[in-house]
Structure 1
């Protein structure tokens, strides 16, 4: 029974979020009155699921909750600001009308997700190659446990650098602002399931989607071990650029090992000190 539940959790969680978001918007409700409560709801569900069936019991301590919640709120406000900037820029400037706005909304959201997801992957990948980007991105890797909330733990500047290119690309090709909002909301919920401490199994779905079983490899403490599985939603980019990794035998017998940054054992613990971290010598 537990095995059936483990394999059912990811598709049920994600499909439920997908349907609620689309049905809410198509019923005529404001996109923010739909997406913000649904993200909060699924965060609460993820919190209780993690306590009920954790992947790692040692990750239930909650000592970093206040820090990660601060990151979540600030970075979500950055996303909202970017979305309103999208409206302002599109009102004053004329861009290309290449995006197919005459197709069903759910397909439009998938197309926008693919665009945004590629740029998220690419900037993330480059953030492990260049020191100045890594100093910003290191905040995300500084967590010593994984759970649903730290999927959005990012330096504010890196949040802009990582998310900006995809949103700008959508703006240039004529993606409607509502479609971008829905895509980002769905991506936020996927981030929860990518970082969750929930002991679920994705089965064949992990060949296509960036689930926790894959992303935990990316957060291993040794820097050289973490150079894999950069994707945010789709695994295709990791396959194309040969950065994918999975070894179920090690996963089940030895676990993934320590989480965090082994090379930086005294990483700052407060929000302000972490924000200042990339600019220290």
Structure 2
């Protein structure tokens, strides 16, 4: 950022913060203002250099896999539509990156530098560790860079984003009225920085507060303002030490002393192994389901663009929207899921979970067969209804979601009060619609294998849940498994055994 831009911003925001202050007692040259000015002068170059290297490498990889300019239709949209779509996509990416930074301890150490601000104003916007900013920029900006938006649209988006970021951090008493549930306001973002327990880990979006409304992470109390900002942990007060601090903190974490006795060592090793496996599984799921979601979006775009040549294209769009939304919720709950309490042991349970989850993706490489209009209608309706019911069940399962036989939290309300493992039951309708729409004998064969594996997955999960939650036996005694209102002895018999013996 050049000196002229800094001077112009100061001439705009300093008078505004004096005219409409949220905290009138705050001085213009508040504490640590010089430190944040150094961030403005120095940090931009470091972040741009790092982001160029990371984004450049990723874009080369994407170009190698998908070819140059894999998406072309976005550049043909009007500028206003391009900018609007870019804001939405970039903010979904930023929300994801921001929430990950609050969830993953190693990334939080870098993100905590930004939260160390104790007095909010426009200058505080720039106190961001380069590692944190490069990570967030990559997840928010890279998707819109590869989607074929015009240079004009990207420039306008960045201008809006930068101006909005300064407004959000400023010491301004500005109300957005009902729009505060749609667009991020200073009030909204100040609560994200508030050092008050009920405001922790809320309001993650950068521009669109409606993302937090949908995700259930919004926090906007009425007739109340934050009393304090900052951290409950030590943080150096000058630029060089703030850059070094996260690395030192990580090094200390890695060098912590080992437990003092064998039992503690064994327990610690078990917990570490479970956590490591869960994190690796989370990464694999994000990559796999992210790719499936990308393919779904491409299919949806293709149907919209070529709708005049596609019979019953309205139904196809409905089914694709349902599938895309389901994958979106899978990604969201994978990112935010709770840590595991217990897991099924052995290789078999893991193979069953992985194959059962991904076996139907083989249909991508199998040419479909022509089907009648009536069959296509039935298929699309089944996929749409199955997707909606699956989303409903997934929303109730929430942060307990996992593809492995793992216990996180016990759910017994809503759909789970009607049938145990309702998500598996709902997916049957969705997958059968997919198989019917594909029309090949091989698709029906894969569907049958998938169904057997789903039953087995539920049985493994049953064993883990019984082992973790003593109250699960009473719950299982009153609620049938997989099929509402129907109990089958052969279906429920294996669940009483421990996971080691399955």
Query: Which is worse superposed, 85-94 or 36-45?
Result: 85-94
Measured in 2, the distance between the counterparts of 1:258 and 1:95 equals 47
Measured in 1, the distance between the counterparts of 2:4 and 2:53 equals 19
| 3-state SS of 1:248 partner | coil
1:39/1:189 contact within 8 Å kept: no
> Does structure 1 residue 146 correspond to structure 2 residue 123?
no
1:75/1:159 contact within 8 Å kept: no
Q: C-alpha deviations, 1:118-166, integer Å up to 9, x for none?
A: 1111111111111111101000100101111212321001100001122
Q: C-alpha deviations, 1:205-252, integer Å up to 9, x for none?
A: 211111111111111114563211111000121112110011113x1x
1:157 is matched with which residue? 131
1:86/1:171 contact within 8 Å kept: no
1:260 is matched with which residue? 230
How big is the shift at 1:59?
2.6
Q: Aligned in 2, Cα 1:99/1:121: closer, same or farther, shift over 3 Å?
A: farther
Measured in 2, the distance between the counterparts of 1:87 and 1:123 equals 19
Q: Where in structure 2 are there 5+ consecutive unaligned residues?
A: 253-502
Write the mapping of 1:81-230 to structure 2, written as runs, cut at 5 A.
Answer: 81=49, 82=51, 94-222=68-196, 225-230=199-204
> Does structure 1 residue 49 correspond to structure 2 residue 16?
yes
Task: Point out the structure with max Rg over C-alpha.
Answer: 2
| 3-state SS of 2:146 partner | helix
Measured in 2, the distance between the counterparts of 1:212 and 1:257 equals 15
RMSD between aligned residues: 2.9
Query: Which is worse superposed, 219-228 or 200-209?
Result: 219-228
Query: Which is worse superposed, 73-82 or 267-276?
Result: 73-82
1:194/1:210 contact within 8 Å kept: yes
1:73 is matched with which residue? 41
Relative contact order higher in (CA < 8 Å, ≥ 6 apart): 1
1:201/1:213 contact within 8 Å kept: yes
| 3-state SS of 2:132 partner | helix
> Does structure 1 residue 64 correspond to structure 2 residue 32?
yes
2:90/2:141 contact within 8 Å kept: yes
How big is the shift at 1:99?
4.5
2:31/2:119 contact within 8 Å kept: no
1:274 is matched with which residue? 242
1:234 is matched with which residue? 208
2:110/2:129 contact within 8 Å kept: yes
Q: Aligned in 2, Cα 1:272/1:216: closer, same or farther, shift over 3 Å?
A: same
Q: Aligned in 2, Cα 1:279/1:52: closer, same or farther, shift over 3 Å?
A: same
2:181/2:213 contact within 8 Å kept: no
1:22 is matched with which residue? none
After TM superposition, the runs of 4+ consecutive aligned structure 1 residues lying more than 4 A away are 36-40, 78-93
Q: Where in structure 1 are there 5+ consecutive unaligned residues?
A: 1-31
1:141/1:260 contact within 8 Å kept: yes
How big is the shift at 1:106?
2.6
Measured in 1, the distance between the counterparts of 2:54 and 2:247 equals 27
Measured in 2, the distance between the counterparts of 1:107 and 1:127 equals 30
Measured in 2, the distance between the counterparts of 1:65 and 1:100 equals 42
How big is the shift at 1:167?
2.1
2:74/2:82 contact within 8 Å kept: yes
